[in-house]
């Protein structure tokens, strides 16, 4: 189970029933279809307890019986699965170029994925919140129109976010001290479900851990690629947040004492070497001739096209950027010893040309045998992680209020 900001904590004495409900729900999620007897055998809970917890979960419409039965020594056992019908969880992302919303059901099935172009760095925070709320309302209307109850909404942003969902600093969005959770909650008319905000890398790591090619890996790092570069770190199945929730700010570790200037005001940061603006500036020097680029996605498309065509100058630049990426990955690999580092965003888009040199650099610098892979979740990893995070209260054993 993964800890997120808004996960309800058990009481001091421990709400044993809630914890047991979470155990049963988790077993069904991972092993469905399964029987009550399977759950008892694998969780160590006695059969009467499992039976009573399953009854509660069926009444709460979190779990349902399938028509299937399994015959064991003559006695048929009714099989259980998560009930995908009654609920939805939403995840959103404020990216440099666009807003994204993803909705999933309790079983993790994707209900919708919508993106709209929006240049948040060029907009006032209030305008961004209004655009985000408008997109959220459309998605909420869609899922509630299907008769679903919304369990929660979590937004990912590139920046430092406190436990209350306030964005302390986002150089990518040019925000400082924006109460995003509060403002979005108000814009949505103070809904009953939890509106949360988290760092984009944390949510992307959550998505990788639940839905990616390395789902279930206990020690996993997701490195976001985009205007910002950050690491979401999962250690022993839990998100590593640090004392103030600021862990994983890999983008502003220096790769070298001297280096390109970074948006944070220092020089030589990881972000200044391998962040998307740095990649565009280095691979397509003509693109910055008329001033700073504000719309990066068309430029990224150009880089990808040139790389596919085998442009030797572009391939040489990407190989060099790959070496810096591998250097950055080796720092996190040596610090937290993950089994795999999964890279997203432009690192994944350009993975075919960045990862060969990145893997070589990682092998040269890292002491362990950490793997390096491109994410298969596409541009929606953060929003998908947001939707996953929004299920945390239910997955920790709370029963939904319907």
189 is written with which tokens? 């008319």
User: What's the first-to-final CA gap in the chain, in angstroms?
Assistant: 24
Q: Is 175 left (phi over 0), alpha (psi -120 to 50) or beta?
A: beta
The C-alpha atoms of residue 247 and residue 205 are separated, in whole angstroms, by: 13
The C-alpha atoms of residue 159 and residue 386 are separated, in whole angstroms, by: 15
306 is written with which tokens? 């040139």
**For Zn ion, the closer CB: 30 or 335:** 335
**For Zn ion, the closer CB: 138 or 266:** 266
Question: Is residue 210 involved in binding Zn ion (CB under 5 A)?
Answer: no
Mapping DSSP to helix (H, G, I), strand (E, B) and coil, where does residue 97 land?
Answer: coil
Which residue stretch of 233-241, 264-272, 301-309, 371-379 sits at the interface with Zn ion (rule: CB under 5 A)? 264-272
> Residue 232's CB: how many other CB atoms inside 10 A?
33
**Minimum CB–partner distance for residue 121 and Zn ion (Å):** 16
**For Zn ion, the closer CB: 63 or 262:** 262
Task: Report yes or no: 99 and 132 within 8 Å, Cβ to Cβ.
Answer: yes
CA angle 350, 377, 147 (to 5 degrees): 150
Which residues ranging from 62 to 121 are in contact with Zn ion (CB under 5 A)? none
**For Zn ion, the closer CB: 111 or 270:** 270
Which residue stretch of 257-265, 276-284, 304-312, 386-394 sits at the interface with Zn ion (rule: CB under 5 A)? 257-265
**Minimum CB–partner distance for residue 263 and Zn ion (Å):** 6
Question: Is residue 264 involved in binding Zn ion (CB under 5 A)?
Answer: yes
Which residue stretch of 26-34, 49-57, 59-67, 268-276 sits at the interface with Zn ion (rule: CB under 5 A)? 268-276
Which residue stretch of 36-44, 99-107, 262-270, 356-364 sits at the interface with Zn ion (rule: CB under 5 A)? 262-270
CA angle 36, 41, 42 (to 5 degrees): 100
**Minimum CB–partner distance for residue 94 and Zn ion (Å):** 20
Pairing of strands 75-82, 63-72: antiparallel
Task: Report yes or no: 320 and 360 within 8 Å, Cβ to Cβ.
Answer: no
- Please work out the total of residues on this chain that contact Zn ion, with binding judged by CB under 5 A: 4
Indicate the Cα dihedral angle 213, 217, 220, 222, nearest 10°. 30
**Minimum CB–partner distance for residue 264 and Zn ion (Å):** 3
Among 262, 303, 333, 343, binds Zn ion (CB under 5 A): 262
Q: Which of 73, 18, 92, 114 is nearest to 398 (CA)?
A: 18
Which residues ranging from 150 to 169 are in contact with Zn ion (CB under 5 A)? none
Residue corresponding to tokens 């950027």:
321
The C-alpha atoms of residue 292 and residue 114 are separated, in whole angstroms, by: 28
Among 172, 269, 332, 370, binds Zn ion (CB under 5 A): 269
Pairing of strands 371-374, 340-343: parallel
**For Zn ion, the closer CB: 262 or 340:** 262
**For Zn ion, the closer CB: 269 or 381:** 269
**Minimum CB–partner distance for residue 265 and Zn ion (Å):** 7
Binding mask 213-252 for Zn ion (x = CB under 5 A): ---------------------------------------x
**Minimum CB–partner distance for residue 261 and Zn ion (Å):** 9
**Minimum CB–partner distance for residue 272 and Zn ion (Å):** 6
**Minimum CB–partner distance for residue 124 and Zn ion (Å):** 24
The C-alpha atoms of residue 351 and residue 2 are separated, in whole angstroms, by: 28
**For Zn ion, the closer CB: 252 or 398:** 252
**For Zn ion, the closer CB: 136 or 269:** 269
Question: Is residue 253 involved in binding Zn ion (CB under 5 A)?
Answer: no
CA angle 352, 353, 357 (to 5 degrees): 110
**Minimum CB–partner distance for residue 149 and Zn ion (Å):** 42
Indicate the Cα dihedral angle 141, 146, 151, 153, nearest 10°. -40
Q: Can you give the binding site for Zn ion, defined by CB under 5 A?
A: 252, 262, 264, 269
């Amino acid at each position: 189970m993964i800890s997120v900001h808004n996960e309800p904590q058990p009481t001091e004495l421990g709400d044993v029933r809630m914890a047991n409900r979470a155990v049963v729900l988790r077993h069904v999620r991972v092993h469905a279809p399964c029987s009550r007897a399977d759950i008892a055998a694998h969780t160590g809970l006695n059969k009467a307890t499992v039976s009573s917890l399953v009854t509660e979960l069926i009444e709460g419409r979190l779990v349902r019986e399938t028509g299937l039965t399994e015959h064991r020594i003559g006695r048929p056992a009714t099989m259980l699965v998560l009930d995908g019908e009654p609920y939805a969880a939403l995840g959103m992302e404020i990216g440099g170029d666009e807003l994204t919303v993803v909705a999933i059901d309790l079983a993790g099935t994707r209900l919708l994925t919508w993106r709209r172009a929006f240049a948040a760095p060029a907009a006032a925070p209030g305008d961004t919140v209004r655009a985000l709320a408008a997109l959220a309302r459309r998605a909420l209307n869609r899922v509630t129109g299907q008769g679903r109850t919304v369990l929660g909404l979590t937004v990912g942003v590139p920046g430092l976010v406190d436990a209350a969902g306030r964005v302390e600093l986002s150089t990518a969005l040019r925000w400082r001290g924006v109460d995003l959770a509060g403002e979005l909650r108000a814009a949505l008319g103070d809904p009953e479900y939890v509106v949360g905000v988290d760092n984009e890398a944390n949510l992307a790591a959550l998505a990788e851990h639940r839905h990616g090619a390395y789902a279930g890996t206990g020690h996993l790092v997701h490195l976001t690629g985009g205007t910002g570069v950050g690491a979401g770190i999962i250690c022993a199945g839990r998100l590593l947040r640090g004392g103030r929730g600021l862990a994983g700010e890999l983008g502003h570790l220096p790769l070298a004492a001297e280096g390109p200037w970074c948006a944070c005001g220092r020089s030589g940061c990881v972000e200044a070497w391998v962040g998307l603006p740095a990649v565009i500036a280095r691979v397509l020097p003509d693109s910055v001739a008329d001033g700073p680029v504000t719309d990066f996605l068309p430029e990224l498309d150009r880089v990808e096209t040139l790389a596919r065509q085998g442009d030797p100058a572009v391939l040489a630049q990407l190989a060099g950027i790959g070496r810096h990426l591998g250097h950055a990955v080796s720092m996190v690999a040596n610090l937290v010893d993950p089994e795999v580092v999964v890279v997203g965003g432009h690192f994944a888009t350009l993975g075919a040309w960045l990862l060969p040199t990145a893997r070589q650099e990682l092998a040269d610098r890292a002491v362990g045998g950490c793997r390096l892979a491109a994410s298969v979740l596409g541009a929606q990893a953060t929003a998908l992680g947001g939707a996953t995070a929004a299920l945390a209260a239910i997955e920790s054993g709370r029963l939904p209020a319907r």
